[in-house]
Chains A and B, each alone.
Chain A
Amino acid sequence: MKIGVLALQGAVREHVQAIQACGAEAVVVKNAGQLAELDGLVLPGGESTAMRRLIDRANLLEPLRQFADAGKPMFGTCAGLVLLAKEIEGQDAAHIGVMDITVARNSFGRQVDSFEADLEIVGIEEPFPAVFIRAPHIVSAGEDVEVLCEYDGRIVLARSGPFLGCSFHPELTGDHRLMQLFLNMVENRELLPTEAHYSKI
């Protein structure tokens, strides 16, 4: 199983390590030509505005949308979640815009309000240590979106067909259970309900 990490900016190394620790092959992705060989793609934490500029300049936006349209799984953490969302509060346009959610950026405050907390996640037994850094959250989610975790009344982890997205940074903790969940999604791809995600970009 080959899993790419979009490597334009951000916490790339950490995701590569998590993928390898789970026994899959990790590919550092910088251009569209690399997408074809991948079974799934991780969009790492970083700065979503900076990543978007670099996505545009590398002509990656359409290839990323096609990757999503093909039903290939994508996992976005923090900035990656913002890239996946169909709607971003206060912005006219989305980025990749394939996951049926609306996100608010920096919604827990500035860096001094960044925090760690243990989360109860649906389907994961023990609490999950989460690091929130100037984190976004999911303001609203479409019908087909499965909310996997809320913190303080806000959705911070959700799954929708082939897309998994979270507000926090599992890549910073060395706890690979969410990466494992994603790899299971990749492995069982044909079982995922992808229909809702095939249209309308």
Chain B
Amino acid sequence: MSEKGTDRVKRGMAEMQKGGVIMDVVNAEQAKIAEAAGATAVMALERVPSDIRKEGGVARMADPRITEEVMNAVSIPVMAKARIGHITEARVLEAMGVDYIDESEVLTPADEEFHLLKNDYTVPFVCGCRNIGEAARRIGEGASMLRTKGEPGTGNIVEAVRHLRQVNGEVRKIVAMGEDELMTAARDLGASYEFLKEVKLLGRLPVVNFAAGGIATPADAALMMELGADGVFVGSGIFKSDQPERFARAIVEATAHYQDYALIAKLSKDLGPAMKGLEMATIGAADRMQERSW
């Protein structure tokens, strides 16, 4: 007797990614570069976040041709993005055999009220969060992995730091709370009581939580690990840098050895310009991808 699509299988897949780097790729060639550099998975999409930001328009699931080519090009897991609430895009990706779906605020949401009921799927999902309430709601819907959102496509780490500190700070508070304080906290945080009880019992989130949204250098990646991320997603940071291969390798190594500062110094030498990046103050409220999801 065997059983597919169980929580253990879906969450376990994310556990195997820990300490790793998941890289955004838009074609098979980039996917091969990512794999050769030591990425633990690739995220197939049509445009990296910084291009979505620059070009505007509606961002959708990638052309299945791209995703298929990426799947055929590498032996590591392939993730792909579906729009928030877009049941059909998610089902299409599942039917194609994608290994993980990112229900992602980087794409233009299809539904501004409801996220996908991810428990219904055999394929596991990763979702973004900025605080413990968002984390709890996504896990409640069936997400098997989280990533703090940051602000995608900016090459600016400030929002990624804010969100990871927020989530981990809230986890620490919950762990320190008395049982009798949890119900009120559940009300205030928008998280279920059962979820908070689980966090308190485990002393951590019940699923793996990566950092994302603004990681542009090896030191950025190491910083997120230092702050307690289980691993990192790098979107525009690699293929928008001057030397993608070297950036990719350096970020992988810095993530694995995030407290070896002499090594990170060595890795960061002569890498050439990172992606240019954006100041948060220059991004209007309507252009902040992190506000998408509810």
Binding site for B on A (CB under 8 A): 7-14, 30, 45-47, 49-50, 53-54, 57-58, 78-79, 105-106, 109-118, 131-134, 169, 172-173
When the two chains form their complex, are residues B18 and A30 in contact, meaning their CB atoms are under 8 A apart? no
When the two chains form their complex, are residues A114 and B9 in contact, meaning their CB atoms are under 8 A apart? yes
Which of B38-46, B47-55, B167-175, B280-288 interfaces with chain A? Answer: B38-46
Known: A46-B40, A115-B4, A172-B8. A11 touches B18 (CB 8 A): yes
- Quote the shortest CB–CB distance from A38 to chain B (angstroms): 19
Contacts of B94 in A (CB 8 A): 112
B152 sits at the interface (CB 8 A): no
When the two chains form their complex, are residues A118 and B1 in contact, meaning their CB atoms are under 8 A apart? yes
When the two chains form their complex, are residues A114 and B4 in contact, meaning their CB atoms are under 8 A apart? yes
- Quote the shortest CB–CB distance from B76 to chain A (angstroms): 6
Known: A133-B13, A134-B99. A50 touches B75 (CB 8 A): no
Contacts of A112 in B (CB 8 A): 4-5, 94, 97, 99, 122-123
B6 sits at the interface (CB 8 A): yes
B89 sits at the interface (CB 8 A): no
- Quote the shortest CB–CB distance from A136 to chain B (angstroms): 11
Q: How far, in whole Å, are A57 and B3 apart by their CA atoms in the complex? A: 38
When the two chains form their complex, are residues B19 and A113 in contact, meaning their CB atoms are under 8 A apart? no
When the two chains form their complex, are residues B5 and A14 in contact, meaning their CB atoms are under 8 A apart? no
When the two chains form their complex, are residues A111 and B15 in contact, meaning their CB atoms are under 8 A apart? no
Known: A116-B6, A134-B99. A47 touches B13 (CB 8 A): no
- Quote the shortest CB–CB distance from A78 to chain B (angstroms): 7
Q: How far, in whole Å, are A79 and B39 apart by their CA atoms in the complex? A: 14
Q: How far, in whole Å, are A49 and B37 apart by their CA atoms in the complex? A: 9
Q: How far, in whole Å, are A30 and B39 apart by their CA atoms in the complex? A: 18
- Quote the shortest CB–CB distance from A14 to chain B (angstroms): 7
Looking at B16, B17, B38, B77, the one whose CB has the most chain A CB atoms below 10 A away is B16
Contacts of A109 in B (CB 8 A): 97
Contacts of A10 in B (CB 8 A): 16, 18-20
- Residue in B4, B18, B100, B249 whose beta carbon sits within 8 Å of that of A9 in the complex: B18
Contacts of B76 in A (CB 8 A): 47, 49-50
**Total residues of chain B contacting the partner, CB 8 A:** 40
- Residue in A8, A11, A50, A53 whose beta carbon sits within 8 Å of that of B15 in the complex: A11
B2 sits at the interface (CB 8 A): yes
- Quote the shortest CB–CB distance from B157 to chain A (angstroms): 22
B151 sits at the interface (CB 8 A): no
When the two chains form their complex, are residues A12 and B18 in contact, meaning their CB atoms are under 8 A apart? yes
Contacts of B75 in A (CB 8 A): 49, 105-106
When the two chains form their complex, are residues A50 and B9 in contact, meaning their CB atoms are under 8 A apart? no
B253 sits at the interface (CB 8 A): yes
B205 sits at the interface (CB 8 A): no
When the two chains form their complex, are residues A9 and B19 in contact, meaning their CB atoms are under 8 A apart? yes
When the two chains form their complex, are residues A169 and B2 in contact, meaning their CB atoms are under 8 A apart? no
Known: A9-B20, A112-B122, A114-B13. A53 touches B37 (CB 8 A): yes
Q: How far, in whole Å, are A93 and B293 apart by their CA atoms in the complex? A: 46
Nearest A residue to B259, CB-CB: A30
When the two chains form their complex, are residues A53 and B252 in contact, meaning their CB atoms are under 8 A apart? yes
Q: How far, in whole Å, are A164 and B223 apart by their CA atoms in the complex? A: 36
When the two chains form their complex, are residues B12 and A172 in contact, meaning their CB atoms are under 8 A apart? yes
Interchain residue pairs with CB less than 8 A apart (30): A9-B18, A10-B18, A11-B16, A13-B18, A14-B15, A30-B260, A46-B19, A47-B16, A47-B40, A47-B41, A50-B40, A53-B37, A54-B38, A57-B249, A78-B16, A106-B75, A110-B77, A110-B99, A112-B94, A114-B4, A114-B13, A115-B2, A115-B3, A116-B8, A117-B3, A131-B9, A134-B77, A169-B12, A172-B8, A172-B15
Contacts of A45 in B (CB 8 A): 15-16
- Quote the shortest CB–CB distance from B232 to chain A (angstroms): 12
- Quote the shortest CB–CB distance from B256 to chain A (angstroms): 5
When the two chains form their complex, are residues A57 and B18 in contact, meaning their CB atoms are under 8 A apart? no
